[in-house]
Each structure stands twice: as structure tokens, then as C-alpha cells.
């Protein structure tokens, strides 16, 4: 069947375009991946080398709105190279909790359809021992116990069988045609049928997860000059999200307000240090990682808000929950 490739490249890594990149065979004819993120550069390099390639990447590659990455998704689908998208649960790795996915490409597909597979609910927990590696004898001589999610061999075999047989499976796999894709979004859950009976997590669990995301976002607050923010491309982080206290209050829960960035007329960027003589390289490196984290947390926030909406609407429609009208006394 030709050469196969399985790879887990570095996530969301910045890179520089080589000279005359448009004439390099692996990039020729494709939209050029952005320098801000090399995920799709790794994909193009991999499918150039192999007939069949599997990439383990962060979920952001499935739905990022960055123009060149969206164009690349469109091209890969139009060329009928994408065979399957498999979303994996979070907390699968000792070093990061970020949720990931598998992208399976095949240059010799015998169908136009793409397998959308969701394994986020098909994992089991496993406790692994890990020796400390940094921080002196107090840490290097200590064994840490880390709980991670794993996919069992039985589920792996079932997943492979679904791809090979091109079959659907309720709440796990659905094959879709390119024209069924909405906004070129490759998130599998978007294409599963919605069951009539909606079962949702408790509002307290949803609120706790939402507030956990807010606490992580608010843990570091950045204050920077508005002009400098626009020049550096950070003005887009000022999303101006509303206070959702009243929305969560309908179900008796509290919501933490987002407060992680503000703009001012002062010089410099203020985190714990500030400067009027340009930006220290370490600060730029920190800001890049911080921005990637906020983008991931924004996606998690949107997912939780969508879950909250879908859980709340049936309760409101059925009358189980009522919105108290304000009275002016």
C-alpha cells in the first residue's frame, strides 16, 4: 500500500517560512501555513512523504478560524485525502491535559466520505507512577502518581474496524460527505444526530468547570499599551465577554467574571514587569504561550457555554425552571 507515517509533532509551534517556500514540492500548490503555527506545515510535510499518514495534534487544528489554516482544511478535503478524524479525551498525557485528536490521511481512499469518530466518552482511567526530574532531591527522589485517560485495546480495534468497514456507530462514529461539513469544521460531535431525550450534566458541574476555566484565564492579567497591542496582534484578545452571573444565577450557580487583559495609554506591557525600551524577548515568548493557552481556554469556554445552553433550554421550555421577573418597587 506504499509508505505509512505515524507522527506526534510539536504542538502550536512558531516557525519561519523558508525562502521560496511556494516552490518547495511539499508546499507547492497548497495554501502556505501561517508562521504563527506549524501544525499544518507538519501535515503537508507528512502527506508529501507517505501514502497514508496519521497525526496526533491538538483539537485546535479541527476548527481554527485562522484564514490560511481554514483554506488548508478546504484543500485537504477537496483533494479527498482526509480519511478519518478521531477526537480523544483530555488528560491522556502526564505533561499536559490538553485534548487531542488523530487525523488520518490516505491518498488511495475508495470513498469521498470522512469518518467522524468521537472517543472522548470511551476512555478508562489509569494511574501511572512518575519520578520527579527537577527541583532538587526533594523532587527527584519522589514518585508522583498521575491519573490519565487511556483508550483500551478493544476500543482501538473497534475504531479501526469502523474505518475499514466504513460503518456508522451510535454516539461513536459517523461517516459524512464533504458537502455536509459546516464551515469546514472537522469536530466530530457536530455531525452526530441529536437524540430526542437530552441528558446533561448537573448545572453545578457545568458551572464549576466554567469557573475553573475563568480562574485559569484570570490567573495572569496583562495590561498593555493599546497601540502596541494592535501592532503585536494582541488586541484581538479583548473579546469583551459579558458578565454571565445572571445567566448562571437562573439555575442557582455563580459565574466568575473574565478579567485577564486590559488596554491603556501607558507605555510598556505590564505583567509583573514593565519597560519603555521595547519588549524583552522572554516577555514575547511568554506572551505567545499565554495567547495559545487563552485560545485553548476560549474554545473550552465556548464548549461549556454551548453545553450550558443545551442543558438549560429544555428546562426552560418544560417549565421546570422559571426566570423570575424583576419588579420595580
**Partner residues linked to 176 by β-bridges:** 114
CA nearest to 69, candidates 120, 100, 35, 94 = 35
**34-53: pLDDT as tens digits:** 999 999 999 999 999 999 99
Is the pLDDT score of 133 beyond 70? no
In which region does residue 166 sit, left (phi positive, over 0), alpha (psi from -120 to 50) or beta (all else)? left
Enumerate the domain spans of the chain: 4-122+152-191, 203-318
Q: How far apart are CA 313 and CA 30, in angstroms?
A: 43
Triad 296, 297, 298: Cα angle to 5°: 90
Q: Which of 71-80, 287-296, 297-306 has the lowest mean pLDDT?
A: 287-296
Per-residue model confidence as pLDDT tens digits over 200-245: 788 888 989 988 888 777 776 777 787 877 777 766 666 556 678 8
Place of cell 478521531: 86
How many other CB atoms sit within 10 Å of the CB of residue 137? 8
What is the H or E stretch that residue 157 is in? helix 153-165
Grid cell at residue 54:
496519521
pTM score? 0.59
Q: What is the largest CA-CA distance in the chain?
A: 78
Q: How many CB atoms lie within 10 A of CB 227?
A: 12
Query: What average pLDDT does the structure give for the chain?
Result: 85
CB atoms within 10 A of CB 313: 12
- CATH class belonging to 4-122+152-191: alpha beta
HSE of 252 in the Cβ direction (CA atoms, 13 Å)? Answer: 6
3-state DSSP assignment of residue 249: helix
Beta bridge partners of 73: none
**Range 275-289 average pLDDT:** 67
Return d(Cα 48, Cα 79) in angstroms, integer: 13
Higher pLDDT, 161 or 256: 161
Amino acid at each position: 500500500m506504499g509508505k505509512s507515517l505515524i507522527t506526534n509533532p510539536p504542538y502550536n509551534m512558531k516557525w519561519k517560512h523558508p525562502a521560496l517556500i511556494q516552490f518547495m514540492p511539499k508546499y507547492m500548490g497548497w495554501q502556505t501555513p501561517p508562521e504563527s503555527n506549524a501544525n499544518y506545515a507538519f501535515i503537508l510535510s507528512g502527506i508529501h512523504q507517505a501514502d497514508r499518514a496519521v497525526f496526533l495534534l491538538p483539537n485546535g487544528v479541527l476548527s481554527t478560524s485562522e484564514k490560511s489554516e481554514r483554506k488548508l482544511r478546504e484543500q485537504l478535503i477537496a483533494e479527498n485525502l482526509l480519511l478519518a478524524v478521531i477526537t480523544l479525551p483530555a488528560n491522556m498525557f502526564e505533561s499536559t491535559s490538553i485534548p487531542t485528536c488523530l487525523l488520518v490521511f490516505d491518498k488511495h481512499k475508495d470513498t469521498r466520505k470522512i469518518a467522524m469518530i468521537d472517543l472522548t466518552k470511551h476512555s478508562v482511567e489509569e494511574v501511572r507512577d512518575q519520578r520527579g526530574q527537577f527541583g532538587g532531591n526533594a523532587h527527584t527522589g519522589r514518585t508522583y502518581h498521575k491519573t490519565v485517560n487511556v483508550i483500551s485495546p478493544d476500543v482501538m480495534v473497534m475504531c479501526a474496524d469502523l474505518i475499514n468497514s466504513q460503518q456508522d456507530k451510535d454516539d461513536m462514529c459517523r461517516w459524512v460527505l464533504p458537502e455536509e461539513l459546516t464551515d469546514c469544521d472537522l469536530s466530530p460531535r457536530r455531525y452526530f444526530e441529536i437524540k430526542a431525550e437530552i441528558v446533561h450534566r448537573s448545572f453545578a458541574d457545568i458551572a464549576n468547570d466554567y469557573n475553573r476555566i475563568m480562574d485559569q484565564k484570570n490567573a495572569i492579567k496583562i495590561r498593555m499599551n493599546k497601540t502596541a497591542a494592535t501592532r503585536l496582534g494582541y488586541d484581538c484578545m479583548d473579546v469583551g465577554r459579558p458578565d454571565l452571573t445572571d445567566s448562571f444565577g437562573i439555575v442557582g450557580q455563580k459565574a466568575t467574571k473574565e478579567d485577564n487583559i486590559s488596554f491603556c495609554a501607558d507605555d510598556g506591557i505590564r505583567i509583573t514587569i514593565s519597560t519603555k525600551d521595547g519588549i524583552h524577548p522572554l516577555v514575547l515568548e511568554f506572551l505567545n504561550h499565554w495567547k495559545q493557552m487563552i485560545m485553548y481556554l476560549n474554545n473550552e469556554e465556548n464548549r461549556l457555554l454551548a453545553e450550558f445552553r443545551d442543558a438549560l433550554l429544555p428546562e426552560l421550555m418544560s417549565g421546570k425552571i422559571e426566570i423570575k421577573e424583576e419588579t420595580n418597587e
